[in-house]
Amino acid sequence: MDYLESLNENQRGAVLQTEGPVMIIAGAGSGKTRVLTYRLAHLIQNGVDAFNILSLTFTNRAAKEMQHRIQTLVGGEAKNIWMGTFHSVFSRILRTEAEKIGYPSNFTIYDTDDSRSLIKTILNEVQLDDKTYKPSVVHNRISAAKNRLITAEAYLKNAHYMADDAAAGKPEMGRLYKLYQDRCKKAGAMDFDDLLFNTFKLFNEHIDVLNKYQNRFKYVMVDEFQDTNIAQYMITRKLAAQNRNICVVGDDAQSIYAFRGADIQNILNFEKDYPELKVFKLEQNYRSSQTIVEAANSIIKKNKAQLPKNVWTANDQGNPIDLIHAGSDNEEGKSIANAIFEAKMQHQLKHSDFAILYRTNSQSRAFEESLRSLNLPYEVVGGVSFYQRKEIKDLLAYFRLMMNPNDEQSLRRIINYPKRGIGDTTVGKLFITADEQGASIWDVMSHAASAGIPVKTAQVIMDFVTMLEAGKVIANNQDAYEAASDMAKKSGLLRELYDDKTVEGIARYENVQQLLNGVKAFVDDPEKEDKGLGAFLQEISLLTDADSKKPGDKDYITLMTIHSAKGLEFKYVYVVGMEEDLFPSAMMLNSRADLEEERRLFYVAVTRAETHLTLSHANTRYRFGKLIDCKRSRFIDEIDQSYIKQIIGKGSLNRNIVQTTPKEPFTRTAVKNLAPPAAKTKIKYVPPTDFKASDTSVLASGMKVEHPKFGFGMVKLVDSNGSDRKAIIDFEELGEKTLILSFAKLRIH
């Protein structure tokens, strides 16, 4: 019981209350993961069989980290907890039970690209314009229906949905939903939403299966409960109905995924479903300074839809929040980059201590350019993931087709890649024949000559079928690496990439080798019981962007959207683009619910900061190729202004500060003249004929220097870290410049 001594009173209460429905409201930085870990360990130490515990998370990484922590407390028994994401746990159940709802146990899991590619194929077949019915829009509409547990049949019968679609100029949406579902089922495939939708269907239609899992999962715990959608909540409620030992953990103030179907009402109304509910509030913040915590409180209190709580901290008061007012988005980028450069040098910090957070990915450009100009290493989170690269998806399509020969999307992708003489006309004829005969595409391909395909082409198709069938035999008898490496060679894909000696071709070949290395690592992992190719495919199909790697693992400055930053923390956080119609987004101003979601997003951004928080906004910004005037965000004004320090212009956090009479706890700043100071008249500097550069190894802040082009200036800071020493110099006529000293010619005066 020693671990209980490290908990505060509310944390301990949440750990000890193991029976009945429990809701843990966990404020930002309140030690939620520790409480979850200790609660699970406490259940096991008090005689609960780990096999009877279900713990649901939103990322595989979070599940692995938690399982590792529990293992340090209770040993190997922690491995027996059913722990993972909703999608991974439910896909595990469906692999066992899928045949009861008409799917094969080796069903393929379609990612977003697969789903949208199938929708595009269907649009072509039914001759609907893909500009009117954009595949992404159709997919989102289908996804939203599934998350609300609405079948295609129910959708078509719902007059409200039909009227909405007609008003939007998309009256065929319901038919597309039905066609899409039928094609997925025929291909033996489920998309991500189906993993939830079909689990609910399974439990709803097969009470014996539901009872089986109710008896198995005597204790159900759900992390990040504020992010659950209707389907996720309904499934967990069914699972917990018999024992009622359900514990949900979350923070309504951090509910920011409505666009993915998350329903904040799940946490706000949880008590209505469980009148005997025990509620524990984790209100002490261990992460951030008092300034940041109190500023965040002043923001979120503006929301009406929330569970009352009083987040506080015993940490130091900390620094005021810096507010940078820039003339343009490019100037904003320079201001932030210079601020990071100064802070890093002054306090000897790592690059990974810094994060720049923005509302949309398109905002990263100005910051990337400014960071590059200062040679500051950075990483943009949310680019093309490894498993979305073409060459990786191509090889994975071969693997998927080996395991599920009815997978239409994989077949279309690689039937003629590398080129083997099976053209689009032939592929179309194969699918038409399959439809006419009510047969699977694989059966038709296996008898291609009977489908009216020319003899030579029919033989090529037969060779393709034979290759994949031979691959499946190897996959059924060998581990994943043996099967994968064999197919990579026999398919011709490795040779195709190897022969491309362009820079891009070499990179693609190396990526495929990296995939095969990943398969080998999977096989060599002693914790993996099933080392087959099917198990490997299932694992990678359930990876999310958040599982690729944790920002901050390497010494880079992190650039990311605020949505991607949830659950992370950094010493220095810069929330940029704080302007009306950007943050809050113009698309989120139509209702109070939308605006409150944006405010929660701002709250999440602010509470990522441990010691230093900077906000920034610009007068002008390029958007969609046009220069627009910007108005600063209402969210800035919602913060108690006594916590804010105003900064004007680009550059140092120690210059151009507008202040008025001191007010506790910080200097409150006047917002009288936020226009950048007028530019000085530039006089061309002419260097003396006897100019001779000095030895800059002795250069230090405070020294006066002369540059043959920029004239006279004062050294502000010298960065001695890394191979290239740099200096920030404030030149009399040109202002601040950052120079690499190995290149700069400076005369010290």
Residue of 86, 34, 76 whose CA lies nearest to 55: 86
Give the confidence band of 552 by pLDDT, cuts at 50, 70, 90.
low
> Residue 387 pLDDT more than 60?
yes
**Per-residue model confidence (pLDDT) at position 544:** 59
pLDDT of residue 667: 34
CA distance 145 to 140: 9
For residue 426 the two structure tokens come to 């032939």
Question: Is residue 659's pLDDT more than 70?
Answer: no
3-class SS of residue 163: helix
**CA geometry: angle at 693 spanning 690 and 698, to 5°?**
140
The H or E element spanning position 648 is: strand 644-648
- Which entry of 18, 33, 71, 112 is annotated as an active-site residue? 33
What is the DSSP pairing of strand 53-57 with strand 626-629? unpaired
Return the number of other C-beta atoms located less than 10 Å from residue 120's C-beta: 17
- Among all chains, which residue has been given the structure tokens 């929708």? 119
pLDDT of residue 666: 37
Burial letters for 691-701: b for 16+ Cβ neighbours within 10 Å, e otherwise? eeeeebeebee
In angstroms, rounded to a whole number, what is the distance separating the alpha carbons of residues 470 and 92? 27
Among 88-102, 381-395, 466-480, the least confident range: 381-395
**11, 254, 313, 738: the active-site residue:** 254
pLDDT at 547 (0 to 100) = 55
Q: Which of 12, 32, 566, 621 is catalytic?
A: 32
In this prediction, residue 517 has a pLDDT band, given cuts at 50, 70 and 90, of confident
User: Which band of pLDDT confidence, cut at 50, 70 and 90, is reported for residue 491?
Assistant: very high
Q: Token match 């609910």: residue?
A: 200
Reply yes or no on whether 223 is catalytic. Answer: yes
Report residue 48's pLDDT band, with 50, 70 and 90 as the boundaries.
Answer: very high
608, 645, 668, 726: the catalytic one is: 608
451: pLDDT strictly greater than 90 = no
Query: Residue 54: pLDDT above 80?
Result: yes
Contact (CB, 8 A) for 587 and 630: no
Residue 521: pLDDT band with limits 50, 70, 90: confident
List the end-to-end C-alpha distance of the chain, in Å, as a whole number. 67
Catalytic site includes residue 273: no
Q: Are strands 321-328 and 354-358 parallel, antiparallel or unpaired?
A: unpaired
Task: Quote the Cα angle for 108-110-113, to 5°.
Answer: 150
pLDDT in tens, 226-269: 999 999 999 999 999 999 999 999 999 999 998 888 899 999 99
Annotation marks residue 254 as catalytic: yes
* Choice among 167-171, 367-371, 506-510 with the minimum mean pLDDT: 506-510
Does the annotation mark 224 as catalytic?
Answer: yes
Q: How far is CA 128 from CA 62, 121, 138, 172, 217, in A?
A: 42, 10, 12, 9, 46
User: Mean of the per-residue pLDDT values for the chain?
Assistant: 87
Higher pLDDT, 441 or 98: 98
Catalytic residue among 224, 251, 598, 706: 224
In 3-state terms, what secondary structure has residue 187? coil
- Look at residue 650 and tell me whether its pLDDT is greater than 60: no
Does residue 670 surpass a pLDDT of 80? Answer: no
pLDDT confidence bin for 576, thresholds 50/70/90: very high
Residue pLDDT, tens place only, 69-79: 898 888 888 88
pLDDT in tens, 5-43: 889 999 999 999 999 999 999 999 999 989 999 999 999
Which residue is associated with the tokens 């060998």?
478
Q: Is 256 helix (H, G, I), strand (E, B) or coil?
A: coil
pTM of the model: 0.77
Cis peptide before 418 (omega within 30 of 0): yes
In this prediction, residue 267 carries a pLDDT of 93
Options 114, 191, 194, 223, the catalytic residue: 223
* 3-state SS, residue 45: helix
